[in-house]
Every structure is written in structure tokens, then in C-alpha cells.
Structure 1
Amino acid sequence: MQSTTTKHVRTLLFLSVVARLAVWTLVSISAYLLPLFDASPDIGTSRSWDSVLLRWDAFHFAHIAKEGYVYEYEWAFFNGLPLLMRVSAHLQALAGFGSNDWATLLRGGACMAVLCDSTQVLYHLSLHHLHSPSLAFLSTALSVFSSSPAALRLASYNEPFFTYFSYRGMLACARSQWIAASICFALASMFRSNGIFLSGFILWGMLITPFLTGRKDLLTHTRLLKCVLLTALPLIPFIHHNIIAYLVFCTPSTTRIPDWCATSMIPSIYSHVQSKYWNVGFLRYWTVSNIPNFIFALPAVLHIFVFCWFYLSNLPAIIPHIIPQIRSKTNNVPPPQLDSSFLSPSLLPHVLHALALTSILTFNAHVQISLRLLPSLPITYWAAARLMLDLPKWGKAWVTWSVLWGALSCVLWAVFLPPA
């Protein structure tokens, strides 16, 4: 078992390196051979290999890292990545490799992202839940086919860090390492606001699972207090971000106090900026002009919804494996064996989390963001593995789409065309 796991991890790390090199090669070739739709990247950097890193949100992260939060709309981006970029630029300057310029910041962020490779973590997380080295290997190998390879494997973007710390926290929860899980989720929340939803895994493991399994003796006052504290920790980056903005914009000494300081019961610059500059809100994105974005995102979104439906439709057969009280009502007859590893009872919190996040992305956000964000859900790859084994034609279709779309998205990203 140990030798098999070691062999799997080595192979997966090799595949991850190959995937990164392939993405870098494709993006670089596209950037040099094809004309840019928007010439902005040539303003901040010279026409060098560093310039391929300056696309889309990387502009905002690099500017925040260099100048701080100058413009109101920049508060839509959390400070985790800019902080890492500044630290990396400082280390490069000490080593004599650069200064606090655009290229150094972008290069530093990209190098930091490489260090946050989530391949090994996903494998061990899959091994825990699927109870099969071969299924864990298949699921993790399929993660090589990402729906947004440029953002996840190349650029100075939030997604590599958010995915890594999310997986780390989920694995810690699986091992009942609650303090480590809380810290990892808090780190994830420094990069993306939806990291606050990760607290649900701690709540599920510490309180809901003992309640459902009849271990109410574990639900002590001490455990409850500990759960509250650990669940609250991942919320701190979001709260801190909004408090700092409030102190900047809403104090009496401010020359012009914005409307959002007083119009909301709980003033939040993040909600204000998302609504004002990105038009985020329930069904706001559901317009005729955005139909192409829904088409782009449909395979990724539908993939999650289908797996959640598959799992939840089998919930009556899964529940007796979770709640012993139900078995006792049938003379304690053991529940029938589940016919799929992808119906493991331990997957339930992952399914609920994935269903909630995908619904938010579909109905309340820019739906194409799902191409970058859904890879942070391990269910994306567990669902793909299930297709490969149970529905091979659909599994091959998913791989084909992932490869073709991944390659096309690299070209689109390189020439500064949406979606991003």
C-alpha cells in the first residue's frame, strides 16, 4: 500500500510538471505569434517572457502589490496574493534578481503559485474518501485537465493558493485535525471571499457528524466553544478587509464619505464594489449579451450539478450508513452495501458545499468564474472519475472537452480575450 501510494504521488507530480510546461509553452507561443486584443500588457512590462504573466486580474494584483489599494474597485480583490508578491519581490531584490517593478512582482507571484501545487494533497484527500488507491490516482490524474490552466498553473492569480489551502483544510478535517483545518481555511480566505464557506466543513465534522451518528456525548460545552472559535477564524480575513476599508472611507475625517458607508445595515465595501463595478447580484448576469459566458461555463457547471444529483438521489441508501438510529428501527439490520465508492457517506459535506457554491456562481455571479473556481472543489475530479468508470462515453467526452477547452483558453488568455 505504501509503495503504491509513493509511486502514485511521484507519477502525479510528474504529470503536474508536464502540464505546467505545456501551459507555459502554449501561452508563450500564442502571446508571441498572435496579436494582442488589448495592448495593455505591453505598457507595464517590456516584450519579454514576463509579459505573458500580465493579463486580466494580474493587472489588479500587481498594482495593489506595488501601490496598495488606490482605486475603490480594487477592494474587490483580497490582499493575500499582493502580499505574497511583495514578499517575493523583496526576496528577489535581496538576491539581486530584481526590484519592486511589475515584472518582479508577477514573476514572484507565479513562482509562489508553483510551490502551492495541490496534486499530492488531492491524492491523499481522494484516498481518504474513496478508500481506493486506484480511484484516488485516477481522480487526481484527471485534475491535470483543468478548465482554466492559465490561471491555475501559470499566472499570478488567487486560484492556485485558494485551491491548495482549501484542499489542505479539507484533508485536515478528514483527519479530525480541526486547528490545522481552521488555519488552512483562514489562509484560503485571504485569497478569495468564498473561503468563508469552508468553515462549514469544521462545523460539520465537529458538531453535525457526532449528532447524526449518535455520539452526543462528544457535544460538550468545551467542544462547542472550540467549534465556534475555529469556525470563526476563516471569517477574519473577510471581516478585516471590510473593516480596513471602512476606516479608510467612512471615518469623519474622510473628505467625501461614500454612500455605502451609511446605506447598509452592515457596511461592506466588498459587496458594494461587486455590485457597482461588476454588477454582481441575483440574476443580474442573466442577460442576452451574457449567453456566450453561460455557454462557456455550461460543461463545468453542469458537471457539478449532475454529480450532486447522482449523490443526493441516492441519499436514502446513504443515510442508514450515517445515522445508526435509522438502523435500530429496522431491528438493527445492517444497511445494504453501497454499490459505488462515489456514494461514500463522508462525501456528503463536499456535495452540499459544491451544490451551494455552484448555485451561487450560476445565479448570483459572473458564471464564467466557475471555470477558475470549480477546480478548487475536489468533487470536480471525483465526478470525472465516476464518469470514466460508470459512463465511459461521457467520461471521454469530459476529457476531450477539458483538453480542447483548456488549450483554447490558454490561447484566448494569451491574446487577452475572454473569458478569464
Structure 2
Amino acid sequence: MYTARQKVYWFAINSRISVFLLQVVFNAICSDHYADAFKTPSDPNEKYLLLDGTIEFLLGGLTRWDAQYYIHIAKYGYTYENTLAFFPLFPLSLKYITVVLNNIGSLILSYSNIIVIIGFVINFICFVKATLILYDLTEVVFKNTNVAYRAAILFCINPASIFFTALYTESMFAYLTFYSMLESTSNNPCVFISLGLSTLVRSNGLINIGFPIYTWLRNLFTNTIPNYISENQLYHSNKKSLLFNFRHIFISVSQIISVIILSLLPFCFLQIYNYTEFCKLNYNSSFPLHVKQYAQNNNLLLLGKQEFPWCLFKMPIAYSYVQRKYWNVGFLRYYQLRQIPNFCLAFPILYLMMKCSICFIKEHKSKFYTLEFFTGETVKDKNHQVYPIEMFVFVMHGLFLTLFSIFMVHIQVSTRLLCSASPILYWYCALETMPKLSNDSKEIEYENHRNILSKWKVFFFTQQQYLCIEKLIFGYFLGYTIVGCFMFSNFLPWT
């Protein structure tokens, strides 16, 4: 018999194996589409060794689209201006682990394929850890094992599943983001480590800093200030106690300022590094000849060869400039008739995220006129409350990302962006698919008896009857998982 957390652990592993096998099959039975996309230049001097063909057959479907950029950065560093759109923690992890292990595998595998294997393993581990942390986070917020279990299982088959296994940053970012959320709920001062690392994986890691700020504000309103006011009423009789509480407020403020600064430091150092590397006109690049040749053939700007316009900005940050120049990212820039299919592709997740936000706001609308989201002084109606008040900061975070996706980014990217950054998608879908109980019913188990005894059987595989909403949600999650494996592994456009 398996506990809920053990079931989540094994299903996370089984789901990654399933996605891996699906992309192998789809990549084998269908020839790759010719995509006019970036492909890292191959080294003509790299030898084709014994197991290279096997690895390319098994993992080749996981190296499509943006994965090529991460492989390129791991092999050659930041060579072209457009590579600055991809943050360094994931590719540099590939690089340095590969350097360590290259001496072991270099006799049977090329350097490039060792990078691919390392990337697959990193994402496998990060995904399993992210799943378990999402389970723990959900238990903290909902205090309900059934919701935690169901949300974590849905995460394992989320609509962007292929990107959590491919050489993308989704798994690493989800792991660091969910971990930062969990540590923020307990006001851990060391949360700046995971927050800082998340800003080196994706740019939207910056808004994760809002979680410790929110927790600090809640503690300020619920503990520090009331204690200070209480002692202030006894000012004449207990001056030492008043001084102690004032010092406590000062320490609390200093702590949150330190967390913010330390969380932002890695991102700031990255911008300084980019400026130093790309904006020195006398920089003598020593890139391999095939890397330089690829730049000439594809009209790419090579480090050390040109003066880049963003270097002259008052705040010389390359990211937004590169996104706008190479991918036409900007406010409403993607609103074109020919992009209607991509809007349709992104519609389900945008609808679910907005629906969750609206339902939460409707349930707690009276609290938006008070400080109850920060003081926690509210009467909980267990018979009617579906969304706990602790969801507030997560809903605001998810709502911001949803609106940002609608107006700013390539709309089809919304699916993988939101699936890896916000837990409210899984919470809402878990609540919508939970069995409805009558008032006199006892709380159900998270799984039926047969499923509890199995490592891989879960509710949506063995459930005999489905409500319409359940069919839509399970169909959306599983459908996008399967179709995504087919499309991505064959270099076809996907989310």
C-alpha cells in the first residue's frame, strides 16, 4: 500500500518514462519536418562514436526548437546576440556536468550527445522533485491530502509535458519556483537562494520575489505590529519590552530587504556579464571556425564583431531588446489574423487560469475592501468555502502571468509558461474533478483500494463514470501531452 506522496512520486517517474517512450515512437515513425529554426552548428572535427546513433534515436526528439539554443550555449557559450534571450543556469549546468563526466563517456559517446543525456537526466530529476514539492505546497495551502494528491497527479500529465522532458528549462524552473513558494510560506530567510537561481533560469523568475514579500507583510500585520501596539499600551510600565519589539520590527524589515537584494543579485550580475562580454569593442573572440561560419551564413551578430545598439541604452539590458528584434515580442504585436490557430491552441489554459482567478475573487470579494488577505482575520465557512484565503498571493501571481501572456508574449507559449510557473491551474482542475460528497458522507480516500496498491494506476485511468467537466479537463491534459509529443519530436510547431 502506498501513501499519497509515494503514489505521486512513482507516478511522476512513470509519467516521464511514458513521455520519453512516446517521443521515441513518434520520432521513429514520422520523418522530421524541415523547420526554418536555429540549429547549433555541428563540429566537423567531432567523431561519431559507438553509442551516438542509439542516443540520437532515443533522445533526438527532445532536442528540437529552443533546445538547440541550450545545447549551443552549453557547447560554445553565448556566441550570437540572439542567444542572450536564453538564461544561463540550465545550459551552464549541462556544460559543467558534461565536462566532469566527459572523461568517462568520451570513448563511446560524442561530447554533444553527453550534453543531451545530462539534460534529460537533469530534467527528469527536477520534474520529480517539482511534483513532490507541489504536493507539499498544496497540503500547506489547502490542508487537504486529496487536493494535494490530485493536483500533483495532474501536474504529471500537464498540457506542456513534452517540454518538461525535452532540453528546455520548464522542469528546472518549476522546481525552483514551487520550492520558493513553499519556503516563502514558512518565511524561510534562505529563500533568496532558490529565488535568485530562478531568475537565472527564466526572466519571470523575478516576480517570484513577491511571495516572501507577501508572507512578510502577513507576519507584520498578524504578529509584529499587534505585539508592538500591545506593548505600547504598557509603555510606562515596560520600556524594555517596547524597545525589544521595536527592534524586532527593525530586524523584520532588514530581513525582507536583504531577501529582496540577495534574490536580485544573480540577475544583476548576469546583466553586468552580458554587458561586459558583448559591449567591449576590442573583445577578441576565439570561437571555432564553424561557429563563425554559421553566423555569416545566417546573418547572425557574433560576439566581438559588431557594436550592439542595446549597449547604448541607459539600462543596457539585452533581454527585452533581443526578444523584440528576433521574435517580435511586445505589447499586442502578436495580434495578427494568421496567428488565430495559435490563439486557439492557448485558449484552454488561459480560460482555466482566468476562471480560477474569477472564482477566487467572487468567493472572497468582500475581503478586497479590508486587510483580511494580510491579517488573516476572517471567519472560514467550511460548508461553502472552496478556495482558501491562503490562495490569494498565488492567484494574483497567476493572474498577472495570464494577462502578461495574453498581451505580451507569443500566445502559444502561454501553455508551457503557465504550466511551469503557477500552481493554480492544477489546484483549480483538482477541485473541479474532485468527487462531490453529501454533507453526511465521510471524507473519501485519495484513491480507491486497488489503485493504492499500484505504482501507476491513478483515478483518471480507472474511473468508471466521468462528468462533462472531468472529460474536458482530462481530455485536455492527456490530449495535449500526446499530441505535443508527436508535434515537438518531429520539429512541428507546438506550444
TM-score w.r.t. the length of structure 1 is 0.89
Residue pair 2:487, 2:493 contacting (<8 A) in 1 also: yes
1:360 is matched with which residue? 404
**Relative to 1, partners in 2 of residues 1:34 and 1:42: Cα closer, same or farther, differing over 3 Å?**
farther
1:389 is matched with which residue? 434
Question: Bigger CA drift: 71-80 or 34-43?
Answer: 34-43
Looking at structure 1, the residues matched to 276 and 371 of structure 2 have their Cα atoms a distance apart, in angstroms, of 51
Cα deviation, 1:143-190, whole Å, max 9, x if unaligned, reads 1221111111x21211100000111111111122131x2211112221
For residues 59-98 of structure 1, the aligned pairs below 5 Å read 59-96=68-105
Q: Going by fraction, where is helix more abundant, 1 or 2? A: 1
Q: Quick one: which of 418, 438, 460 aligns to 1:374? A: 418
Looking at structure 2, the residues matched to 371 and 382 of structure 1 have their Cα atoms a distance apart, in angstroms, of 16
Tell me, yes or no, if structure 1 residue 269 matches structure 2 residue 318: yes
Q: Quick one: which of 327, 347, 371 aligns to 1:278? A: 327
1:10 is matched with which residue? 6
1:231 is matched with which residue? 260
Tell me, yes or no, if structure 1 residue 132 matches structure 2 residue 132: no
2:292 is matched with which residue? none
Residue pair 1:165, 1:187 contacting (<8 A) in 2 also: yes
Q: Secondary structure at the match of 1:143?
A: helix
Residue pair 1:318, 1:338 contacting (<8 A) in 2 also: no
Q: Which amino acid in 1 is paired with 2:415?
A: L
Cα deviation, 1:371-408, whole Å, max 9, x if unaligned, reads 11212211110011121138953233111111112101
2:309 is matched with which residue? 259
Looking at structure 2, the residues matched to 403 and 178 of structure 1 have their Cα atoms a distance apart, in angstroms, of 39
Q: Quick one: which of 93, 102, 114 aligns to 1:104? A: 114
Q: Quick one: which of 402, 405, 416 aligns to 2:477? A: 402
Residue pair 1:214, 1:323 contacting (<8 A) in 2 also: no
**Relative to 1, partners in 2 of residues 1:252 and 1:74: Cα closer, same or farther, differing over 3 Å?**
closer
C-alpha deviation, 1:94, in angstroms: 3.4
Runs of 5+ consecutive residues of structure 1 not aligned to the other structure: 328-333
Looking at structure 1, the residues matched to 41 and 306 of structure 2 have their Cα atoms a distance apart, in angstroms, of 32
**Relative to 1, partners in 2 of residues 1:340 and 1:211: Cα closer, same or farther, differing over 3 Å?**
farther
C-alpha deviation, 1:325, in angstroms: 8.0
1:331 is matched with which residue? none
2:179 is matched with which residue? 168
C-alpha deviation, 1:315, in angstroms: 2.0
**Relative to 1, partners in 2 of residues 1:55 and 1:128: Cα closer, same or farther, differing over 3 Å?**
same
C-alpha deviation, 1:253, in angstroms: 3.7
Q: Secondary structure at the match of 1:69?
A: coil
- The count of aligned residue pairs is 406
Looking at structure 1, the residues matched to 426 and 308 of structure 2 have their Cα atoms a distance apart, in angstroms, of 44
**Relative to 1, partners in 2 of residues 1:189 and 1:326: Cα closer, same or farther, differing over 3 Å?**
closer
Which of 1 and 2 has higher RCO (CA within 8 Å, sep 6+)?
2
Residue pair 1:342, 1:382 contacting (<8 A) in 2 also: no
Q: Secondary structure at the match of 1:156?
A: coil
C-alpha deviation, 1:242, in angstroms: 1.8
Runs of 5+ consecutive residues of structure 2 not aligned to the other structure: 43-51, 229-244, 284-304, 437-466
The higher radius of gyration belongs to 2
Residue pair 1:88, 1:109 contacting (<8 A) in 2 also: no
Q: Which amino acid in 1 is paired with 2:316?
A: P
**Relative to 1, partners in 2 of residues 1:303 and 1:66: Cα closer, same or farther, differing over 3 Å?**
same
Report percent identity of matched pairs: 25
Q: Secondary structure at the match of 2:433?
A: helix
Q: Quick one: which of 311, 314, 319 aligns to 2:363? A: 314
Tell me, yes or no, if structure 1 residue 52 matches structure 2 residue 127: no
Looking at structure 2, the residues matched to 415 and 314 of structure 1 have their Cα atoms a distance apart, in angstroms, of 44
Looking at structure 2, the residues matched to 412 and 371 of structure 1 have their Cα atoms a distance apart, in angstroms, of 15
* RMSD across aligned positions (CA): 2.6
C-alpha deviation, 1:133, in angstroms: 1.1
Cα deviation, 1:318-364, whole Å, max 9, x if unaligned, reads 5679369897xxxxxx7351545642121101010001111111111
2:298 is matched with which residue? none
Q: Secondary structure at the match of 2:92?
A: helix
Looking at structure 1, the residues matched to 179 and 331 of structure 2 have their Cα atoms a distance apart, in angstroms, of 31
**Relative to 1, partners in 2 of residues 1:215 and 1:343: Cα closer, same or farther, differing over 3 Å?**
farther
Looking at structure 1, the residues matched to 110 and 91 of structure 2 have their Cα atoms a distance apart, in angstroms, of 12
Looking at structure 2, the residues matched to 336 and 13 of structure 1 have their Cα atoms a distance apart, in angstroms, of 32
